[in-house]
Structure 1
Amino acid sequence: MSSEHMQIGEVATRTGLSLRTIRHYEETGLVLPSARSQGGFRLYTESDVARLMLIRRMKPLGFALDEMRDLLDASDRLDAGAGLDAGEREALLARVREYEQAASRKIGELRVQLARAEEFAATLRERCERAGAEATRS
């Protein structure tokens, strides 16, 4: 086995994803092992790890598998670069920009949700403190 290849367990450790999740992403075609060992074990490269990290970062923002697939396709085609004319390159860049804008919007929405959750926790904390203070006065 080449030192540039990693088995799925090492990839899981490095990405923080479970083996089951990595296999699911393989089944859905989001990431495919770069090779297989003679024993049939999945083998991954740094590029595969980077791809899984991109997927992992999209997931909490609520991107669907089809959106992940679309962004990965656009990124792959941009990275390959060869044979793209200026119009194709610009169309791919526009797709990536749309995802960046969507991610920024989703992050803003999450910040609002987090602020509301923090306000809620603070309200409960104050209620508990008031109740505790009243109990000690009684």
Structure 2
Amino acid sequence: MNSEHMQIGEVAARTELSLRTIRHYEEAGLVVPSARSQGGFRLYGEADVARLMVVRRMKPLGFTLDEMRALLDATERLDSGEELPSGERGELLERIRGFERAAQQRVADLRTQLARAEEFAGTLAERLTRIPTS
């Protein structure tokens, strides 16, 4: 194994994802190990870790595996250094902007949910202080 590659355990520690989750994302085609060791072990590079981090950040916002794949594919195409026709480049950029807008909306929705949950917890705590203890 060369120093550019990591085994799945190190990737799991760096990404705070379980081995099972990383394997699931591989099966779903979201991240494919860059290499295999002579013994057949999965080997991941920095680009693979970066992809997993994108997935890890999208998951709590409720994005589907297909949406994750679409964003990863769009960013990968733009980052490839390949000359893209302006129409395709614009389409990819708009797709990423759409994901950014969706993420912002989902974050706002989560903030609303959190505020309601905190209000509920506070109401319960207040109610408990009014109940006489024996």
Q: Do they superpose with TM above 0.5?
A: yes
**SS of aligned partner of 1:43:** strand
- CA distance in 1 between counterparts of 2:31 and 2:86 reads 28
1:47-73 deviations in whole A, cap 9, x for unaligned?
110100000000000000000010011
How far residue 29 of structure 1 moved from its aligned partner, in angstroms, is 0.4
Q: What is the TM-score with the length of structure 1 in the denominator?
A: 0.95
How far residue 83 of structure 1 moved from its aligned partner, in angstroms, is 3.0
How far residue 81 of structure 1 moved from its aligned partner, in angstroms, is 3.4
1:16-67 deviations in whole A, cap 9, x for unaligned?
0000000000001000000000000000011110100000000000000000
* Partner of residue 72, structure 2: 72
1:116-135 matches, cutoff 5 A: 116-131=116-131, 134-135=132-133
What amino acid is aligned across from residue 30 of structure 1 in structure 2? L
1:106-129 deviations in whole A, cap 9, x for unaligned?
000000000000000000100111
Following superposition, which runs of at least 4 residues in structure 1 exceed 4 angstroms of deviation? none
* Partner of residue 39, structure 1: 39
How far residue 87 of structure 1 moved from its aligned partner, in angstroms, is 1.3
- CA distance in 1 between counterparts of 2:38 and 2:88 reads 39
- CA distance in 2 between counterparts of 1:18 and 1:98 reads 29
Larger Rg: 1
Percent identity among equivalent residues? 70
- How many matched pairs? 134
Of stretches 13-22 and 72-81 in structure 1, the one that deviates more from structure 2 is 72-81
**SS of aligned partner of 2:33:** coil
Is 1:98 equivalent to 2:98 in the alignment? Answer: yes
Structure 1 unmatched ranges of 5 or more: none
- CA distance in 2 between counterparts of 1:70 and 1:81 reads 18
1:93-114 deviations in whole A, cap 9, x for unaligned?
0000000000000000000000
**SS of aligned partner of 2:39:** coil
What amino acid is aligned across from residue 97 of structure 1 in structure 2? R
